[in-house]
Amino acid sequence: MVAHCLMDAPLECCGILGGVFPEVSLFYPLANVAASETRYDADPRDLIRVDRDLRAREAEILAIYHSHPRWQAVPSKTDLATNYLGPVPRIIVSLLDHPPVVRMWRLDPDSYEELPWRLVP
């Protein structure tokens, strides 16, 4: 995930992590059709492809990720306003530091809460 974001810098990268809760086992990088360093808009064709693959594998979206090339890994007002999938956790990767900072959030329309996560082999 972090490598995908670094390859696309300084544009925001975006993607989906899928699997069977609680384990992420699927990684879907998505094209950012906004081609912006301040926001992302996932390619609708990629989203359809991911939805079909998840259904075929009997898996689900476990998290959505995107990068902040020029800001901290904290949700922006745009992140809150465009949270169309409600309780699905959002992972934000800040590219300001080396190594990049990765944080996970639960977003509400007017607030956000950081969620714990861990990397397992």
The residues annotated as belonging to the active site are 12
Tell me the CA end-to-end span of the chain in Å, nearest whole number.
15
Radius of gyration of the chain (CA): 14
Is the torsion defined by CA of 13, 19, 24, 27 positive or negative? negative
Both tokens of 66, joined, read: 């995107």
Residues near 121 by Cβ (< 8 Å), separated by ≥ 6? none
Q: In whole angstroms, what is the distance from residue 29 CA to residue 39 CA?
A: 16
| 15, 3 contact by CB (below 8 A) | no
